[in-house]
């Protein structure tokens, strides 16, 4: 079995299984947790809207921080949107998901996606440089942050190498690309990347709590 | 005839000096050599004695020979190959039975250590190799015996090069490629199911001209023909970059000649010259005729998932079952984890 | 037979890249080769089939090089078309197979492409053939 067959076969199979296993584990584990009974008198009874509101309102900085966090927000938005385009709006990727789920949707011209991919990678590198040079960010960063960065950046980098045939033969680069995605899938549920699903729960819970207390969000 | 040079033999067949120069120029171009190589080819063929080629057909469908006999005719490389050099080919030669086998033995004796051995078909190892035999001699025996006196071996077709369809799962005959048996001779692989005719004759002509194997890739294929992927040289490539794909074999995209990636085209991972040299005297190639590449010049092409599944899709059997099991198992572990946390929390609050 | 209509699959798409970058590069290389011919008497050639050569590149080359004074057809193992471009010393040579299929296309930088020159062996044979014909006509009593 050559590398590409291994990547497309057993490697993908097992990493996807671990990905789904891990996500189910952590989500169910969090959702079934016991919550302390709040004995205080609620200011509002229905807290759903408060939860939903916070999920969205936290996507934008508060006016007080807008100035100081502008760069951070700009970079974060760029690479998140870039990742979305690269992952979901590139035809071969859509076909991969269609093969698994049966869902399909329109995609963008491949040439455009390559440009977005390069921009995404550049932004990711800028984020890493910022993390390593900013005194506070540097202090609060741990292995999880750096490793999660690496497993996110690697598929983008190897994908770009594959389309540009740089460094090795296409099938080798494609195999490395798929294997880097396997690494991402396996790490995803167990590291900080899980924020992609947990942010809804944490913000929703906090929002609901604030709503109940009548606190400003 | 054996003492004459290739040029003399060509001239005896009515090829003029100009025709010969033209052959040298076109061969250099076809083999992706610099134009200056044409002069070297001319000089070599003016001195080289008549070469000898022995062609053995093993576990195969004769598709490679069918393809070969449809080479652009009459070109000089095909003249050099079949009219001048070919001493044994049991499908093409007139002799049969013991006379044919005698021709093989005679050719081997006459040019021991110098002839080129061409093989098409894989070699079955099961049942002591007697799944396939010629004149009571197993393919395995005949290959070993004939390869011993060969200067080089050229594997025609994916079966001889990589095992091909006979070796595909479940490989009932225990088929293997030539390289699994012969380890001590230079081997050139010319894979394809079948290979492009002019590629077959040119590779043989290249060896006969230069007396050395051409530059090969890591799978033993001549780089001049197998240096680029079908995808990279495909005339439909711009549509891939523009994101224009045929989504079925009779939709608007298919009629417009858009990229066949979504319909399972294996062009991006297949190295061959179909997109440039083309088939049937340069008429067309599969993608031009509306069907994706099936990747026939790559090892194990028959066992790499469906021909109609996009290249980016994973290849394993029952996805739903695997991933469903993973989800259920994950949910169960999550529930257990939450339950144990709850018990711990309860203990902690009771202790307070 | 079914009454389904044949589907027309378009086979002409865009050029390799849709620009004439290769054509421009070839013109630069021709300049060097022609300089080598003029200064050092060294002929050279460019194999157009070895390059990613699109219709835009062809158009650029044809316009830049133009038409010259000489155009010749050689009939040997299929036709070959040899024509001098508007730049003397640069020849456009196309070899076709016996089925009219182009086999090779070269830009030769030389005073005269070798395929046009009569080989000396052929000239010797020509001499004896001519003498034989003279001998024949002498004995016909003219």
| Residue that is last in its domain, among B209, B226, B243 | B226
Predicted pLDDT at B79: 67
H or E element at residue A69: helix A63-88
Does residue C3 lie within any of the structural domains?
no
Query: In terms of domains, do C98 and C139 share one?
Result: no
User: Would an 8 Å CB–CB cutoff place B304 in contact with chain A?
Assistant: yes
How confident is the model at residue A58, as a pLDDT? 85
**Residue C50's pLDDT is what?**
72
- pLDDT band of residue B88 (cuts 50, 70, 90) is confident
**Residues of chain A falling short of pLDDT 50:** none
Which residues of chain B lie closer than 8 angstroms to C121, CB-CB?
17
What is the average per-residue pLDDT within B299-310?
Answer: 92
Does residue B267 belong to the interface with chain A, where contact is any CB pair within 8 Å? Answer: no
- How far is B226 from B210, CA to CA, in rounded Å? 19
pLDDT band with cut points at 50, 70 and 90 for residue C3: low
Residues B261 and B203 in one domain: no
Q: Given this model, what pLDDT does residue A139 score?
A: 92
Q: How far is CA B234 from CA B229, B239, C13, C14, C15, in A?
A: 8, 10, 10, 11, 10
Contacts of B15 in chain C (CB under 8 A): 77
pLDDT tens digits for range B15-51: 888 888 888 888 788 777 777 788 888 888 778 777 8
CA atoms of B270 and B260, how far apart (whole Å): 14
* Cβ-defined contact of A34 to B262 (cutoff 8 Å): no
Residue B295 lies in a domain: yes
- Overall number of domains in chain B: 2
Sequence-distant contacts of C109-113: CB under 8 A, at least 24 apart: C109/C30, C109/C33, C109/C34, C109/C36, C109/C37, C109/C43, C109/C44, C109/C45, C109/C46, C110/C37, C110/C43, C110/C44, C110/C45, C111/C37, C111/C43, C113/C82
Q: How far is CA C101 from the centre of its chain?
A: 13
Q: Are residues B144 and B237 in the same domain?
A: no
Please report, rounded to a whole number, the percentage of residues in chain C having pLDDT higher than 70. 86
Q: What is the pLDDT of residues B233-289, one digit of tens each?
A: 898 988 998 889 999 998 999 988 899 999 999 999 999 999 988 888 778 899 999
Which residue range forms the structural domain that includes residue C51? 21-111
Query: Band of the pLDDT at C1, cuts 50, 70, 90?
Result: very low
Do residues C42 and C101 share a domain? yes
pLDDT at A109: 93
* Chain-chain contact of B73 with C98 (C-beta, under 8 angstroms): yes
Count of domains observed in chain C: 2
In a shared domain, residues B123 and B205: yes
Asked whether the beta carbons of residue C95 and residue B26 sit closer than 8 angstroms, the reply is yes
Same domain, C38 and C102: yes
Residue B14, number of CB atoms within 10 A of its CB: 9
Please tell me whether residues C32 and C64 are part of one structural domain: yes
B154 in the same domain as B78: yes
Same domain, C83 and C129: no
Distance in Å, alpha carbon of B242 to nearest chain C alpha carbon? 11
Does C16 have pLDDT greater than 80?
Answer: no
Shared-domain flag, residues C71 and C132: no
- C 27-86: CB under 8 A from B: 44-47, 49-50, 74, 76-78, 80
Task: Count contacts between A and B (CB, < 8 Å).
Answer: 131
User: Do both C46 and C83 map to the same domain?
Assistant: yes
Highest-confidence segment of B111-115, B293-297, B323-327, C94-98:
B293-297
Answer yes or no: do C84 and C71 share one domain.
yes
Question: Tell me, what's the pLDDT at B25?
Answer: 85
Q: Per the domain annotation, does C5 fall within a domain?
A: no
For residue B273, what is the enclosing H or E element?
none
Average pLDDT over chain B, rounded to whole? Answer: 88
A4 near B CB under 8 A: yes
Please report whether residue B32 resides in a domain: no
Residues B161 and B75 occupy one common structural domain: yes
Query: Is the same domain home to B105 and B181?
Result: yes
C77 CA: distance to closest CA in chain B (Å): 5
User: For position C39, which CATH number holds?
Assistant: 3.30.1370.140
**Ranges of H-type helices in C1-142:** 21-40, 55-65, 120-139
- pLDDT tens string A102-145: 999 999 999 999 999 999 999 999 999 999 999 998 999 999 99
Residues C101, C37 share a domain = yes
CATH number at residue B177: 3.40.50.700
For residue B19, being part of any structural domain is answered with: no
B240 touches chain A (CB under 8 A): yes
Residue with the larger pLDDT of the pair B210 and C95: C95
- Whole-model pTM: value is 0.81
Q: Verify whether the Cβ–Cβ distance C44 to B35 is below 8 Å.
A: yes
DSSP state of C118: P
- In terms of domains, do C99 and C140 share one? no
Q: Which residue of A has its CA nearest to B243?
A: A109
Is residue B77's pLDDT more than 80?
Answer: no
Q: Do chains A and C touch (3 or more CB pairs under 8 A)?
A: no
- Does B41 reside within a domain? no
- Same domain? For C84 and C99 the reply is yes
Q: Identify the residue with better confidence: C120 or B302.
A: B302
Instruction: Please indicate, yes or no, whether residues B328 and B194 belong to a single structural domain of this protein.
Output: no
**Chain A, nearest residue to B301 by Cα:** A5
Q: Which residues of B touch C51 (CB under 8 A)?
A: none
Is B194 in the same domain as B154? yes
Compute the nearest-CA separation of B182 from chain A (Å): 21
- Residue A88, chain B, CB below 8 Å: the answer is no
Residue C16 belongs to a domain: no
Write out the residue range of the structural domain in which residue B197 sits.
51-226
Last residue of a domain, one of B202, B226, B250: B226
Domain identity same for B200 and B247: no
C neighbour chains, 3+ CB pairs within 8 Å? B
Percent of chain B with pLDDT over 70: 95
The verdict on B39 touching A (C-beta cutoff 8 Å) is no
CATH number at residue B308: 4.10.480.10
Residue C9 domain flag: no
Answer yes or no: do B139 and B79 share one domain: yes
Q: Per-residue pLDDT for C15 more than 80?
A: no
Give the side-chain half-sphere CA count within 13 A for B187: 24
Considering only CB atoms, B290 lies closest to which of C9, C80, C106, namely C9
Question: How far is it, in rounded angstroms, from Cα B37 to Cα B209?
Answer: 11
B214 shares its domain with B247: no
Most confidently modeled range among B14-23, B70-79, B325-334: B325-334
Answer with the one of B226, B256, B271 that is the final residue of a domain. Answer: B226
Identity of the residue in C18, C45, C101 whose CB atom sits nearest the CB atom of B281: C101
Task: Chain B: list its partners (3+ Cβ pairs within 8 Å).
Answer: A, C
User: Could you tell me if C46 and C65 lie in one domain?
Assistant: yes
CA dist B89 → A35, A134, B9, B118, C112 (Å) = 83, 75, 21, 9, 43
Reported as a pLDDT band with limits 50, 70 and 90, residue C57 is: confident
Asked if the structure places residue B248 within a domain, the reply is yes
Helix (H) or strand (E) holding B250: none
- Taking the Cβ of residue A22 and every Cβ of chain B, the question of whether any pair is shorter than 8 Å is answered with yes
Residue C134, pLDDT above cutoff 80: yes
The overall average pLDDT reported for chain C is 84
């Amino acid at each position: 079995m050559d590398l590409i067959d291994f990547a497309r076969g057993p490697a993908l199979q097992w990493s996807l299984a671990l990905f789904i296993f891990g996500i189910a584990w952590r989500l169910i584990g969090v959702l079934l947790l016991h919550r302390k009974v709040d004995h205080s008198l609620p200011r509002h009874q229905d807290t759903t809207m408060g939860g939903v509101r916070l999920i969205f309102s936290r996507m934008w900085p508060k006016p007080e921080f807008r100035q100081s966090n502008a760069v951070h927000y700009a970079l974060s938005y760029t690479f998140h949107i870039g990742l979305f385009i690269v992952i979901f709006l590139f035809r071969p990727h859509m076909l991969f998901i269609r093969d698994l789920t049966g869902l399909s949707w329109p995609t963008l011209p491949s040439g455009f996606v390559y440009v977005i991919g390069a921009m995404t990678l550049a932004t990711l590198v800028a984020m890493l440089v910022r993390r390593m040079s900013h005194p506070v960010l540097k202090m609060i960063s741990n292995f999880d942050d750096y490793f999660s960065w690496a497993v996110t950046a690697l598929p983008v980098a190897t994908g770009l190498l594959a389309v540009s045939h740089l460094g090795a033969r296409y099938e080798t680069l494609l195999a490395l690309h798929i294997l880097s995605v396997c690494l991402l899938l396996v790490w995803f549920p167990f590291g900080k990347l899980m924020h992609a699903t947990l942010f809804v729960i944490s913000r929703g819970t906090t929002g609901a709590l604030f709503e109940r207390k009548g606190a400003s969000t | 005839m054996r003492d004459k040079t290739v040029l003399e033999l060509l001239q005896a067949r009515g090829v003029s000096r100009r025709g010969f120069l033209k052959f040298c120029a076109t061969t250099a171009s076809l083999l992706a050599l610099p134009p200056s190589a044409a002069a070297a080819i001319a000089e070599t063929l003016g001195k080289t004695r008549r070469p000898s080629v022995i062609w053995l057909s093993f576990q195969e469908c004769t598709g490679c020979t069918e393809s070969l006999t449809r080479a652009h005719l009459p070109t000089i490389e095909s003249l050099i190959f079949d009219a001048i050099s070919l001493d044994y080919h049991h499908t093409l030669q007139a002799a049969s039975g013991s006379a044919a086998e005698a021709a093989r033995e005679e050719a081997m004796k006459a040019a021991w250590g110098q002839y080129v051995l061409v093989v098409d078909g894989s070699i079955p190892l099961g049942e002591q190799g007697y799944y396939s035999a010629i004149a009571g001699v197993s393919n395995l025996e005949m290959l070993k015996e004939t390869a011993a006196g060969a200067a080089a071996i050229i594997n025609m077709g994916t079966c001889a090069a990589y095992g091909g369809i006979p070796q595909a799962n479940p490989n009932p005959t225990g088929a293997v490629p030539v390289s699994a048996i012969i380890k001590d001779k230079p081997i050139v692989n010319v894979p394809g199911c079948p290979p492009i005719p002019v590629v077959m004759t040119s590779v043989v002509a290249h060896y006969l001209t230069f007396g050395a194997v051409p530059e090969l890739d890591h799978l033993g294929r001549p780089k001049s023909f197998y240096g680029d992927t079908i995808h990279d040289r495909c005339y439909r490539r711009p549509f891939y970059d523009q994101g224009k794909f045929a989504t079925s074999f009779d939709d608007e995209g298919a009629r417009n000649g858009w990229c066949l990636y979504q319909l399972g085209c294996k062009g991006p991972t297949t190295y061959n010259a179909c997109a440039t040299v083309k088939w049937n005297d340069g008429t067309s190639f599969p993608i031009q005729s509306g069907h994706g590449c099936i990747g026939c010049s790559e090892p194990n092409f028959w066992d790499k998932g469906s021909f109609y599944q996009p290249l980016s899709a994973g290849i394993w059997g029952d996805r739903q079952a695997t991933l469903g099991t993973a989800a259920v198992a994950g949910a169960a572990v999550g529930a257990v984890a939450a339950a144990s946390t709850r018990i711990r929390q309860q203990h902690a609050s009771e202790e307070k | 037979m079914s009454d389904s209509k044949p589907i027309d699959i378009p086979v002409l798409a865009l050029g390799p890249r849709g620009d004439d970058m290769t054509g421009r590069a070839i013109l630069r290389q021709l300049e060097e080769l022609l300089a080598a011919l003029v200064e050092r008497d060294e002929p050279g050639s460019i194999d157009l089939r070895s390059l990613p050569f699109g219709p835009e590149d062809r158009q650029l080359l044809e316009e830049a090089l133009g038409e010259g004074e000489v155009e010749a057809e050689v009939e040997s193992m299929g036709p070959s078309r040899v024509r001098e471009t508007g730049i003397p010393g640069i020849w456009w040579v196309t070899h076709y197979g016996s089925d009219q299929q182009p086999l090779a296309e070269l830009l030769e930088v030389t005073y005269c492409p070798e395929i046009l020159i009569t080989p000396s062996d052929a000239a010797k044979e020509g001499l004896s053939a001519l003498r034989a014909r003279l001998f024949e006509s002498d004995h016909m009593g003219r």
